[in-house]
A = this chain, B = another copy of it.
Amino acid sequence: MHLTHEPIDLAAFLGAARPSDGAVCLFVGVVRNESEGQETVAIEYEAYEEMAESELAHVAASVSQEWPGALVRICHRVGKLSVGEPSVAILVTAPHRETAFAACRLAIERLKEHAPIWKKEIRPDGTGQWVE
């Protein structure tokens, strides 16, 4: 559960499931090459880091509480990312797939709503635009 300034290593993030887990759901957000019709070459992610860390932990804990059995891990990148790089990864392991999918989906929605993280889309001409 953390922010990282380094590229997210998805293979390392996919840890071992517990013996009672039958389902793993991983969501990865990736930098796209366009946004609402405008070309994007990179995205700069900025966070209120100390608060974001605790908000991500809170998202994971609240989702686990609503979906008993779900183990939730979240990793969010900050800094300047190129197209194709993962910006966020959410891993849920659970006994059954219904829980894994629902908890993973809920976690990304909560994160987008609450985590104090911002992004500036960089256009081909080098200008940037905060997404608000």
Q: Does A34 contact B (CB under 8 A)?
A: yes
Q: Report copies per complex.
A: 2
Interface-side segment among A25-33, A56-64, A72-80: A25-33
- Which residues of chain B are near A104, meaning CB under 8 Å? 25, 101
Min distance, Cβ A116 to any Cβ of chain B, angstroms = 20
Is there an interface contact between B84 and A16, defined as CB atoms closer than 8 Å? yes
Residue of chain B at shortest CB distance from A28: B24
C-beta contact mask, A1-36 vs B, less than 8 Å → 1, else 0?
Answer: 000000000110010110111111111111111100
Select the residue from A24, A28, A100 with max chain B CB neighbours within 10 A.
A28
Residue of chain B at shortest CB distance from A30: B17
| Contact partner, A32, options B16, B19, B105, Cβ 8 Å | B19
Q: Does A95 contact B (CB under 8 A)?
A: yes
Is there an interface contact between A32 and B24, defined as CB atoms closer than 8 Å? no
A16–B31 Cα distance when bound, in Å, is 12
Q: Can you name 10 A-B pairs with beta carbons within 8 Å?
A: A10-B14, A11-B11, A17-B84, A21-B32, A24-B27, A24-B28, A24-B30, A26-B27, A27-B101, A32-B95
